[in-house]
A and B are shown apart, each in its own frame.
Chain A
Amino acid sequence: DVKVTQSSRYLVKRTGEKVFLECVQDMDHENMFWYRQDPGLGLRLIYFSYDVKMKEKGDIPEGYSVSREKKERFSLILESASTNQTSMYLCASRRDTGKSRYEQYFGPGTRLTVT
Chain B
Amino acid sequence: AQKVTQAQTEISVVEKEDVTLDCVYETRDTTYYLFWYKQPPSGELVFLIRRNSFDEQNEISGRYSWNFQKSTSSFNFTITASQVVDSAVYFCALSAPSTGGFKTIFGAGTRLFVKA
Contact = CB atoms under 8 A, between A and B. Distances in A.
Given A102-B95, A103-B50, A42 B102 contact: no
Interface residues of A, number: 22
Interface stretch (A17-25, A60-68, A105-113): A105-113
A90 B45 contact: yes
B61 interface: no
A34 interface: no
Contact of A109 (B44, B102, B103, B106): B44
B49 to A, nearest CB: 9
Contacts of B107: 42
A74 interface: no
Contacts of A96: 102
A42 B109 contact: yes
How many interface residues does chain B have, given as a range? 20 to 34
B108 A42 contact: yes
A98 to B, nearest CB: 12
A103 to B, nearest CB: 5
Interface of B: 33, 35, 37, 42-47, 50, 91, 95, 101-104, 106-109
27 contacts: A42-B106, A42-B107, A42-B108, A43-B91, A45-B104, A48-B103, A56-B101, A88-B43, A92-B45, A96-B102, A100-B50, A102-B33, A102-B35, A102-B95, A102-B102, A103-B35, A103-B50, A104-B35, A104-B37, A104-B104, A106-B45, A106-B46, A106-B47, A107-B44, A108-B42, A109-B43, A109-B44
